[in-house]
Chain A
């Protein structure tokens, strides 16, 4: 890690935002400038995605193993290619 004492003192803004919640699972992320709020992801994967009051997705990042196939289907279905899935 970084810092003079060999560990992050915790006040580094960037490291906090890039820490993966569960590194063992596939992660779902939204490419925000592409997302137009079509909502197909929420139709296909309601367990992990719901739509806010402006029809944009609120996404749970970690994908449980049993939902990986549906998550891939949601990624393929997005008309703007805005939903992405990353391998662990």
Chain B
């Protein structure tokens, strides 16, 4: 597959491969003129929230940020709710192992911005906010240029904001807090943002890739959109695969494609297991990965969730218990430190998993007790995401867990950093 190197700054380069829809014609660059040429002869955009929702429902377009919420439902709710709507494009990414949104904003910003304009005009919004990652500075520069190039032609005004450098920065409520002038941290919300979000106004907040998919749908029409993918899940999605190569790979993949050959193309394999869904993901053993296809439904049946499409294969010789201990230690350090169960529970959980990794405990009871204590408590799903990888590790790696409980580990020693948390 042909690919381009995407430099997002500060050591965050990735390889992006050419794809069928989103990442098509990469060699022509991200400029506005090229983008406009591709849109010549496109269908007219829907003029109302209802019309747009029907178009989105025709392909069951789901959010690509991890929650997989139907975009049509957000559009319908915001179009009917009281107050002038506002649109937010969430490209903050948050999860360090994910690079798809940064890649999309650098290579195809106009596709994302078209999608945002499409939704904004249909629901009658008067502003679009685009939020980009704090730790990838060239993304902000690229998006600013793209916005300036099209400022005259766009009916709805757009503004750009940089998120803080933290794991939870991309969480929906955290993004709205940032835009409201408060710290970029999650909060408990009593009503969905489509009803009352930014400043109490109906807010459609969705992942950058979701808007790009909506723009493709509006440009090409339902039939062409459904010509790739499966009947139940038409279209494509972006994946980030972090294999053995010198940098991660971002791929655009049609739903229904087998995962194993994709891993190979990204210099990776799942012979030692795969963490599917990033740091908040699920461990899958090699056997489960062998026949897996890129499909949200197939992954649920396999006991995982595709989330934001991050695939982290475990390198050969690395112990999954130790790797999980490092991941949990990192996640504990990324707590916003505002909600008691997360602030105290996650570090305690990190210690407990680390003790298991070091072979220092004879029972995993404490880990289970702590997981039950932190789940579903807190303003966001950070604790739930953290326990997901631990639960799947206990379930899928029983032999390794047994070995560690008796004080040994056969895999090559991966140093658990002493000061990691």
- Contacts from A to B (Cβ < 8 Å): 2-4, 9-15, 17-18, 29-33, 35-37, 52-56, 58, 84, 86
Give Cα A30 to B338, complex, Å.
13
- Closest B residue by C-beta to A82: B188
* Contacting pair A32 B345 (CB below 8 A): no
Given known pairs A37-B340, A52-B373, the reply for A14 and B69 (CB within 8 Å) is: yes
* Contacting pair A33 B300 (CB below 8 A): no
**In the complex, how many angstroms separate the beta carbon of A36 from the nearest chain B beta carbon?**
8
At the interface, yes or no: B296 with Cβ under 8 Å from chain A?
A: yes
- Closest A residue by C-beta to B379: A32
Given known pairs A12-B70, A13-B66, A54-B345, the reply for A32 and B338 (CB within 8 Å) is: yes
A-B CB contact pairs (8 Å), 14 listed: A2-B57, A4-B57, A11-B296, A11-B300, A11-B305, A12-B70, A13-B69, A17-B376, A32-B339, A32-B378, A35-B340, A52-B341, A55-B340, A86-B190
At the interface, yes or no: B287 with Cβ under 8 Å from chain A?
A: no
Given known pairs A11-B296, A13-B305, A56-B377, the reply for A32 and B69 (CB within 8 Å) is: no
Contact of B68 among A12, A31, A86 (CB under 8 A): A12
* Chain B residues numbered 359-404 whose CB sits less than 8 Å from any CB in chain A: 373, 376-379, 381
Q: Which residues of A contact B377 (CB under 8 A)?
A: 30, 32, 56, 58
Give Cα A9 to B233, complex, Å.
12
Give Cα A3 to B297, complex, Å.
13
User: Would you give the 0/1 interface string for B41-83, flagging 1 where the beta carbon is closer than 8 Å to chain A?
Assistant: 0000000000000000111101000111110110000000000
- Closest B residue by C-beta to A13: B67
- Contacts from B to A (Cβ < 8 Å): 57-60, 62, 66-70, 72-73, 185, 187-188, 190, 192, 296-297, 300, 305, 338-341, 344-345, 373, 376-379, 381
**In the complex, how many angstroms separate the beta carbon of A41 from the nearest chain B beta carbon?**
13
- Closest A residue by C-beta to B177: A33
Q: Which residues of B contact A32 (CB under 8 A)?
A: 188, 338-341, 377-379
Give Cα A63 to B377, complex, Å.
18
Q: Which residues of A contact B373 (CB under 8 A)?
A: 52-53
The 4 closest A-B CB pairs, nearest first, are A56-B340, A32-B339, A54-B344, A4-B60
Q: Which residues of A contact B296 (CB under 8 A)?
A: 11
Contact of A13 among B60, B68, B344 (CB under 8 A): B68
**In the complex, how many angstroms separate the beta carbon of B390 from the nearest chain A beta carbon?**
18
**In the complex, how many angstroms separate the beta carbon of B197 from the nearest chain A beta carbon?**
14
Give Cα A18 to B187, complex, Å.
15
Contact of A14 among B67, B338, B379 (CB under 8 A): B67
